[in-house]
């Protein structure tokens, strides 16, 4: 096992919630940090739907880092104080969310065109908080050169690390990764850069490791949702076919039990499981056919029969 490679699980809203994180950590040990999908304030209160996400008992991993989505220093300080009271020692600032409903409000990647605003936010934070702070960001909102104005601001502060997804917001998750932008940011930054973006396989990782040779820490997102063995593969830890099959079943069981307990009715639990399978289906030889079977289920009993059938039909692994 290659212990020199550090892997993080990305904060993916709606997918890597506390049920997923707990199940993943129990089934596939070895991931170095889990980032909690962003929480926000409304009327100076955390929305109720985010409360379970940050409860300490729902985050037993050795390193769980809550992410926040804010538009000013006051919100960042308020959220950091609340998280500190729960026992967290670090917080991650979202400067990368690309969706217009977020960026139009000056949050996420909407912060990137305004370096002076960011400086005021960070001044406010470091004057009033002792928490460790990292940022997750894109190359820009409209243009990739926006990062050139942001890095010098970040360099002024004791930022722990910059998790960098080298795309601009309008690309969402499509189009080419801006490789040269990531390399240039690494040269400009005094802060360690963590790479994030388009690592779906061991081959993808190996290529990016070669391209970004000085990078030591890696954040994995959609690739893990498709293949939960990806962090293990990156660290050169492999499992026999039968053990992989058992781990898939075990992982699914934990996810299913988690949503069955945490959702307020069976219909919502079923919808969460269907969402889970929109990526988990890629763990099987014919993902579209597999997901189609799941989508057709109308209640949890039918769902359980269908999933049992899927696991039984795929005893040889893939």
My answer on whether 148 and 293 are in the same domain is no
Q: What is the pTM of this model?
A: 0.95
Q: In this predicted structure, what is the pLDDT of residue 317?
A: 52
**pLDDT digit string (tens) for 264-279?**
999 999 999 999 999 9
Using DSSP bridges, classify how beta strands 41-42 and 90-95 pair: parallel, antiparallel or unpaired: unpaired
My answer on whether 20 and 155 are in the same domain is yes
Rounding to the nearest 10 degrees, give the CA dihedral for residues 26, 31, 32, 36: -70
B/e letters for 138-165, b = 16+ CB within 10 Å, e = fewer, are bbbbeebebbbebbebbeebebbbbbbb
My answer on whether 204 and 284 are in the same domain is no
Model confidence band, residue 4 (pLDDT cutoffs 50, 70, 90) = confident
Helices marked H in the chain: 18-27, 48-54, 73-85, 100-103, 115-128, 147-155, 179-188, 202-211, 222-226, 230-234, 241-262, 266-280, 287-295, 300-313
* Whole-number Å distance between alpha carbons of 197 and 98: 13
Other CB atoms within 10 Å distance of the CB of residue 230: 22
Which residue in the block uniquely carries the two structure tokens 């801006």?
178
My answer on whether 54 and 188 are in the same domain is yes
B/e letters for 20-55, b = 16+ CB within 10 Å, e = fewer, are bbbbbbebbeebbbbbbbbbbbeeeebeeebeebbe
C-beta of residue 34 within 8 angstroms of C-beta of residue 61: yes
**pLDDT digit string (tens) for 10-19?**
999 999 999 9
Q: What is the CATH number of the domain that holds 47?
A: 3.20.20.70
pLDDT exceeds 60 at position 121? yes
Q: In this predicted structure, what is the pLDDT of residue 2?
A: 62
Phi then psi for 127, rounded to 5 degrees?
-75, -25
Phi then psi for 164, rounded to 5 degrees?
-115, 120
- Asked if the structure places residue 83 within a domain, the reply is yes
My answer on whether 80 and 200 are in the same domain is yes
Q: In this predicted structure, what is the pLDDT of residue 1?
A: 54
Domain final position from 234, 250, 278: 234
Q: How many Å from the N-terminal Cα to the C-terminal Cα in the chain?
A: 22
Q: In this predicted structure, what is the pLDDT of residue 44?
A: 80
**pLDDT digit string (tens) for 136-181?**
999 999 999 999 999 999 999 999 999 999 999 999 999 999 999 9
Q: Write the DSSP string, 67-117.
A: EE--SSHHHHHHHHHHHHHTT--EEEEEE----HHHHTTT-GGGGTT-HHH
My answer on whether 185 and 53 are in the same domain is yes
Q: In this predicted structure, what is the pLDDT of residue 316?
A: 57
**Can you read off the two tokens belonging to residue 75?**
């919100």
- The residue range of the domain holding 248 is 241-313
Number of domains in the chain: 2
> Which residues partner with 135 through β-bridges?
93, 162
């Amino acid at each position: 096992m290659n212990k020199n490679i550090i892997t993080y699980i990305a904060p993916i809203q709606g997918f890597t919630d506390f049920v997923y994180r707990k199940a993943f950590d129990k089934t596939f040990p070895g991931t170095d940090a889990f980032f909690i999908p962003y929480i926000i304030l409304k009327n100076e209160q955390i929305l109720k739907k985010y409360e379970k996400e940050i409860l300490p008992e729902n985050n037993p991993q050795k390193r769980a880092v809550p992410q926040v989505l804010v538009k000013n220093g006051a919100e960042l300080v308020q959220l950091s104080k609340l998280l500190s009271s729960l026992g967290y020692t670090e917080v991650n600032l979202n400067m990368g969310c690309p969706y217009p409903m977020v960026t139009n409000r000056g949050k996420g990647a909407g912060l990137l065109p305004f370096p002076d605003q960011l400086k005021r936010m960070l001044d406010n934070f470091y004057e009033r908080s002792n928490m460790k702070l990292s940022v997750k960001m894109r190359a820009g909102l409209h243009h990739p050169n926006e990062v050139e104005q942001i890095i010098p601001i970040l360099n002024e502060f004791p930022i722990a690390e910059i998790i960098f997804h080298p795309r601009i917001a309008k690309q969402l998750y499509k189009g080419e990764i801006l490789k040269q932008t990531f390399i240039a940011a690494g040269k400009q930054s005094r802060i360690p850069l963590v790479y994030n973006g388009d690592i779906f396989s061991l081959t993808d990782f190996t290529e990016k490791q070669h391209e970004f040779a000085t990078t030591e820490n890696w954040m994995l997102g959609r690739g893990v949702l498709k293949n939960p063995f990806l962090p293990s593969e990156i660290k050169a830890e492999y499992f026999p076919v039968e053990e992989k099959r058992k781990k898939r079943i075990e992982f699914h069981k934990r996810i299913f039990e988690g949503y069955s307990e945490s959702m307020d009715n069976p219909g919502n639990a079923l919808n969460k499981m269907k969402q889970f399978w929109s990526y988990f289906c890629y763990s099987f030889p014919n993902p579209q056919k597999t997901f189609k079977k799941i989508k057709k289920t109308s209640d949890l009993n039918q769902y359980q029969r269908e999933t049992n059938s899927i696991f039984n039909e795929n005893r040889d692994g893939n």
